[in-house]
Amino acid sequence: MPGVSQFSLAGVSPAVRHELLHALQQRDAAGISLVPQYIRRIVAGLPSELDSLLRLSKEFISELPAAASGVLNGLLLHVRRARVEFEGVDPTSGDVWECALVGLAAGRGRKYVAVHGDINFQPVRQQWLRELVKEYGRTVRPCVLDLRQTVYAASIASSALANRAAGEAPERLSMADMNAVVDMFRITKRPEDGHDYSTSHRRALLRDWRTFLEFARQAGMMDHVPGDFALNPRFHTIAAVEASEDEIGRAVPEHVIAQLDAHIALLGTSTSYESGGWSSADFARMYQVVYAVLRDTGRRPGEVTSLRRGCLERIDSKPTLVYDNHKRRRHGRRLPVSESTAQAIGTWQKELDRLPAVPACGQWLFPSPGQRNRPRRGHLTTAQFCNRIFRDWVDELIPDLVDERLDDSGEPLAYDRTQIVPYGFRHAYAQRHADAGTRPDVLRELMDHRSLDVTMGYYKVSLTRKQEAVKTVARLAVDRHGAPRGFEDALAYEVESVGVPYGGCTEPSNVKAGGGHCRIRFQCAGCDFYRPDPSYLPALEQQIADLRADKESALAMDAADWVVRNLDDQIRAYSKSADEMRRQLEAMPEEERTRVEEASRELRKARSAAAFIPVQSLTTRSTP
């Protein structure tokens, strides 16, 4: 009778026994732990007459418990590789390579080989070019992710050459053909949604194409191709372009962030995974802090997941986050953060101290959760958080996410969840600052942008939105008597008036002073220069409510008659302006009224925005 840590292969055929032993040896060499109970469960169900594990039915595998099924699939993979090697079959001979058989690493820095998916060379249309890319894969043996990227770059070049006379005749290729290839890299869009690639991604694709060409030339694989079919660094470049509003517009809207915050307790609860003495609740709490830091700091996902345990410092008693900008290879950057963000990080640091220590993760604020049968090393990766935990939360766990827009029946439309991505919080952070009037040079420091042009893109979005909103509401302004006194155009609204607490003001000296020089102490209801519009309705309604409360207090205090009379006069005057604007809105068609309400919200945001994060001590590098 085998002990708890033993298993027996006596009940299986000799061939199956050898297959199991070989597969177990391969797993052991890869550092994957062995759980004897799973092997006993697998062996117990194997038919005695089975002559090879490769003849097992899918039904047999699916009926096993999940853990045992995963182990068996891993064993079968090693047996398949051994069979292919024994039979002398080249798994790289076809146009579609099965990753599990080719034996390439899954990604950069990963020691284990890929076990899922295919590498499809068929999108490379020209046979000669397809064979060159396949030979590149056989010889260089890059990781699966890099090879797929090279294949994609080659497919872009292939689509350009398909329209050229020399595309199928490599011996006739010339510099003009390479010009066409580079032009194709400049205009290629993302196949999944048709959106433009960023400049940096286009450059990365072109760099993959260059790396492939240089290898093929040096290896003598392109001796039959004329030498002028080559990339010229002087001409074949992809120029940097100013960040477009479409790219910058990927910010997660504030009303959506508020809804996400309301369901933060669900983040990380999509899995019951436990490891190293950590419960699923511990992992969920870690993921929730990752989200809070992403939302509040505007750092890239990789910059947040790689934070170190000592990432929080105080400069002049103000909290500062120390992080690494991996994209630009600038380490030890510093970012002023709010007290609430610092408190969230500090609370998690204390929880981390109480949790069982993970030696290979000791320096990280967000330790790696690891994987089943694999030890925990390093920090949480962006793929683990963004592609699984965050995506499950947004797509599956949050019941309702609504937009500010309404449908034909007046009900809020559902928000498109595919637009909610972790990187969108970085755009939201920058847009929040731009809307609040943070100086461009300061925002550039906060975002750690290399070019001010990229930073200015956020201000252009703010300006464009505001200009469109002004065009909509400017004509709907009224005076203190409620009579229509709309502005002729958006320029007049901006130049001839200035925002004050309860409406616009057209008094010249106050406009010149930016709204800070009112001669009658902002008693707007009694001023002929007062010009409220629908965007001020909530402020007006609040002021009327406050005045009524003040009147009741004055009566209770037995204040002088002129005090009560003044309050009554202001209530009547403000109410007249508000009533007239409501009447105008009610008389509008539904579609136009919705447009005015959206424009009003935009102007209120522009007026009421305040700096989101205190900006002080903008030291960009930590001291050793």
Beta-bridge partners for 197: none
**Domain boundary pick from 241, 273, 305:** 241
pLDDT of residue 479 exceeding 70:
yes
457 in a structural domain: no
pLDDT of residue 289: 96
User: Within this chain, do residues 256 and 234 fall inside the same structural domain, yes or no?
Assistant: no
**Domain boundary pick from 202, 219, 241:** 241
Cα angle 438, 258, 533; round to 5:
60
Give backbone dihedrals phi and psi of 93, rounded to 5 degrees, phi first: -80, -30
Output 613 or 541, whichever has higher pLDDT.
541
pLDDT-wise least confident of 166-170, 243-247, 331-335, 382-386: 243-247
In tens, the pLDDT along 491-539 reads 777 777 887 778 889 988 888 887 778 888 778 888 989 999 898 898 8
Render the burial of 243-263: b for 16+ CB within 10 Å, e for the rest.
Answer: beeebbbbbbbeebbeebeee
Output 482 or 284, whichever has higher pLDDT.
284
Give backbone dihedrals phi and psi of 619, rounded to 5 degrees, phi first: -75, 130
Among residues 144, 145, 98, 97, which one has the least CA distance to residue 121?
Answer: 97
**Residue 185 and residue 168 in contact, taking contact as beta carbons nearer than 8 Å:** no
The SS3 of residue 367 is strand
The SS3 of residue 313 is strand
User: Within this chain, do residues 27 and 101 fall inside the same structural domain, yes or no?
Assistant: no
pLDDT of residue 243: 43
163 in a structural domain: yes
pLDDT of residue 263 exceeding 70:
yes
User: Within this chain, do residues 211 and 259 fall inside the same structural domain, yes or no?
Assistant: no
Among residues 437, 602, 614, 455, which one has the least CA distance to residue 534?
Answer: 602
Among residues 271, 255, 544, which one has the least CA distance to residue 389?
Answer: 271
Which domain, by its residues, includes 395? 248-426
In tens, the pLDDT along 84-135 reads 878 788 888 899 998 888 888 887 766 667 777 889 999 999 999 999 999 9
pLDDT of residue 620 exceeding 60:
no
User: Within this chain, do residues 284 and 142 fall inside the same structural domain, yes or no?
Assistant: no
Q: Distance of CA 255 to CAs 389, 398, 438, 472, Å?
A: 22, 15, 21, 22
Number of domains in the chain: 4
User: Within this chain, do residues 305 and 351 fall inside the same structural domain, yes or no?
Assistant: yes
**Residue 267 and residue 389 in contact, taking contact as beta carbons nearer than 8 Å:** yes
Q: Please tell me the distance from the alpha carbon of residue 143 to that of residue 90, in angstroms, as a whole number.
A: 18
Q: Left (φ > 0), alpha (ψ -120 to 50) or beta: where does 219 sit?
A: alpha
Average pLDDT over residues 181-199: 85
Q: How many residues are given for the chain?
A: 624
pLDDT of residue 46 exceeding 70:
yes
- DSSP code for 387: I
Render the burial of 12-45: b for 16+ CB within 10 Å, e for the rest.
Answer: bbeebeebbeebbebbeeeebeeeeebbebbbee
185 in a structural domain: yes
User: Within this chain, do residues 291 and 377 fall inside the same structural domain, yes or no?
Assistant: yes
User: Within this chain, do residues 383 and 356 fall inside the same structural domain, yes or no?
Assistant: yes
Q: Left (φ > 0), alpha (ψ -120 to 50) or beta: where does 515 sit?
A: left
**Domain boundary pick from 87, 111, 132:** 87
Q: Locate all alpha helices (DSSP H) within 104-198, ordered by sequence.
A: 127-140, 144-161, 175-187
309 in a structural domain: yes
Q: Distance of CA 508 to CAs 219, 486, 502, 519, Å?
A: 76, 17, 18, 11
pLDDT-wise least confident of 45-54, 424-433, 456-465: 456-465
Q: Which two three-digit tokens encode residue 213?
A: 């060409």
458 in a structural domain: no
Which percentage of the chain shows pLDDT scores above 70?
92
Which percentage of the chain shows pLDDT scores above 90?
37
User: Within this chain, do residues 517 and 483 fall inside the same structural domain, yes or no?
Assistant: yes
Q: Please tell me the distance from the alpha carbon of residue 323 to that of residue 366, in angstroms, as a whole number.
A: 13
The rounded mean pLDDT for the chain is 85
pLDDT of residue 413: 85
Q: Which two three-digit tokens encode residue 281?
A: 């609740």
Average pLDDT over residues 553-580: 91
Beta-bridge partners for 105: 113
Output 20 or 522, whichever has higher pLDDT.
20
pLDDT of residue 404 exceeding 80:
no
